Structure 1
Amino acid sequence: MLPQRSRLSVLVFLLPPLALYGIAVLLPIFQSLFLSFFDWDGISPMLFVGFENYIRMFTGDTVFWIAFRNTLGYVVICLVLQLGGALIVASLLTLLRRGREVVKTLYILPAVISTVAIAFLFQRIYSLDPEGLINQVLEFIGLGNLQNAWLSDVGTVLAAVSVPEGWRFTGLYMLIIYAALLAVPAELEEAAKLDGASWWQTFWRIRFPYIRPVWITTTIIATTNALRGFDIPYLLTNGGPGQSSELLTTYMYKTAFTSTNYGYASTISVFVVVECLVAVGLIFLLLRRKADA
């Protein structure tokens, strides 16, 4: 639909970012795919093993499946906190008459704090000796028997490493959803109120369908970010105790840089990429189907 000169201009401006994307993103993915067919320690000559790494990953590596299960749990907790919290806060912000900017700033603040600082902060919050914030609150309200070493208990550690990640990005997604809610035509909501619709009916029948495209995009961003989550779980527990908080990303990192098995680590990285692509496809399929229903 553009004239020839305009198409050429668009192409000229698109080439640099596309080239940068290809070098920084696509090339490493293809390199990982290539390395996944080899046994290589980073120094010795590479030994071609074909699909042996993939067979080992799917049939002979129990740690991989533990990490995969933990990753799914990690993603679920992060999405509930990030998307659920973001939607609730964004909806409440539309009702707030004063102090909106202060609230938005406070919620977005964790996203700009150093990851290391967040990890150390939550180490202190979860601490049992000396008592961290959670255990102090439990003691104060008379539930001292529930005090726990949250990062050392195999029953709580996965949730404990997931909460900081969920808390960290809730404000970012809140801003995206809040901007989408502001774009909902006020006359539609006013018409619904005149027809006697409740707040929930107005939200579910008018607001949410209107922001559905933004919700789909936000869900995809949050899901892929959670599937690639690494820094906070690694800093808090390094996958421990045992493999109770081991994620695919932490397992991949340790396989590459601790065990120096770059071929097998590349196999895991390929799986992570495929996992993200499958997740994006499922999100589109499920949410689009609900939109069409």
Structure 2
Amino acid sequence: MIPGRSRLSVLIFLVPPLLLYGVAVLFPIVQSLFLSFFSWDGISDMEFVGLENYSRMLFGDDVFWHAFLNALGYLAICLVLQLGGALVVAGLLTSLRRGREVVKTLYLLPAVISTVAIAFLFQRIYSLEPEGLLNRVLGWVGLGDLRRAWLSDTDTVLAAVSAPEGWRFTGLYMLIIYAALLAVPKELEEAARLDGASRWQVFTRIRFPYIRPVWITTTIMAATFALRGFDIPYLLTNGGPGQSSELLTTYMYKTAFTSTDYGYASTISVFIVVECLVAVWLIVRLLGRKGDA
């Protein structure tokens, strides 16, 4: 249906980004898949081991499964903070008369700040000695008994390393959802209000169903980014204390560059790719099914 000249134009514009995507994303994935069948320390000759690395990962590595469960917890916290916070703020923005640009700028600011700066910021916030902002606020509101070293406590460290990631990208997803909410036809909302619908009914029956495709895309972005989250948890705790905040990404990194076991690290990276693909399939299947209903 596209004329020949238009097809050529589309091809010219698509080839460069597709080549870049292939070199930067697809080639490393294929290379990791290839290395996962070998034992290699990065220096000596590679030794073919077949599925031994996968067997070790699935049946003989307790740290891997601990990191996997931590990654699921990290994912859940990030999704609640990012998508929940983004939806609430975007909904409030649509009702603001003034100051929208200021609010959008303030919420988007963390997304452009260096991850190293964010890690150092939250180290100070969570600090016990010297007393950080979080412990100081707990003291001010009469909850001083809850003060602790948040990054050293095995009960709180996973939530503590997840919160900065959730805070960082809330503004980005808020802008996406806010733009989708602005596209909802006003006449539909006005007709619903004339019929006596409450704000909650307008949101659940009109607004949210209308933005569902955007919501699915945003959920996929947030989920895959969280499953691949690395920099802030690594900078804050390096997976500690013990393996309390160890994620699959940090475990893969340390396996490759500390233990120099590149074959096994590649196996973990392949699992992360498969995990992201399964997450995308589940999101599309579950949210898409509700949309069809």
TM-score, structure 2 length as denominator? Answer: 0.99
- 1:132-211 pair list within 5 angstroms: 132-211=132-211
Query: Offset of 1:13 from its aligned partner?
Result: 2.0
Match of 1:47 in 2: 47
Query: Offset of 1:5 from its aligned partner?
Result: 2.1
For residues 16-43 of structure 1, the C-alpha deviation after alignment (integer angstroms, 9 at most, x for no partner) is 1111111111000000000000000000
Once residues 55 and 115 of structure 1 are traced to their aligned partners in structure 2, the CA distance between those partners, rounded to angstroms, is: 35
For residues 51-94 of structure 1, the C-alpha deviation after alignment (integer angstroms, 9 at most, x for no partner) is 00000000000000000000000000000000000000000000
Match of 2:108 in 1: 108
Structure 2 gap segments, 5+ residues each: none
Match of 2:37 in 1: 37
Secondary structure of 1:142's match? Answer: coil
Once residues 285 and 279 of structure 2 are traced to their aligned partners in structure 1, the CA distance between those partners, rounded to angstroms, is: 10
Once residues 14 and 121 of structure 1 are traced to their aligned partners in structure 2, the CA distance between those partners, rounded to angstroms, is: 40
Match of 2:243 in 1: 243
Higher alpha-carbon deviation: 133-142 or 90-99: 133-142
Once residues 13 and 99 of structure 1 are traced to their aligned partners in structure 2, the CA distance between those partners, rounded to angstroms, is: 39
Once residues 264 and 110 of structure 1 are traced to their aligned partners in structure 2, the CA distance between those partners, rounded to angstroms, is: 35
CA RMSD of aligned residues (A): 0.6
Once residues 197 and 156 of structure 1 are traced to their aligned partners in structure 2, the CA distance between those partners, rounded to angstroms, is: 42
Match of 1:278 in 2: 278
Match of 2:71 in 1: 71
Query: Offset of 1:264 from its aligned partner?
Result: 0.2
Query: Offset of 1:283 from its aligned partner?
Result: 0.2
Query: Offset of 1:125 from its aligned partner?
Result: 0.4
Secondary structure of 2:211's match? Answer: helix
For residues 85-116 of structure 1, the C-alpha deviation after alignment (integer angstroms, 9 at most, x for no partner) is 00000000000000000000000000001100
User: Runs of 4+ in structure 1 displaced over 4 angstroms?
Assistant: none
Once residues 81 and 21 of structure 2 are traced to their aligned partners in structure 1, the CA distance between those partners, rounded to angstroms, is: 31
Once residues 164 and 21 of structure 1 are traced to their aligned partners in structure 2, the CA distance between those partners, rounded to angstroms, is: 28
Opposite residue 234 of structure 2, the aligned amino acid is Y
Question: How many residues matched?
Answer: 293
Higher alpha-carbon deviation: 16-25 or 59-68: 16-25
Identical pairs, percent: 82
Once residues 160 and 69 of structure 1 are traced to their aligned partners in structure 2, the CA distance between those partners, rounded to angstroms, is: 16
Secondary structure of 2:32's match? Answer: helix
Match of 2:269 in 1: 269
Query: Offset of 1:14 from its aligned partner?
Result: 1.3
Structure 1 gap segments, 5+ residues each: none
Secondary structure of 2:197's match? Answer: coil
Once residues 99 and 259 of structure 2 are traced to their aligned partners in structure 1, the CA distance between those partners, rounded to angstroms, is: 52
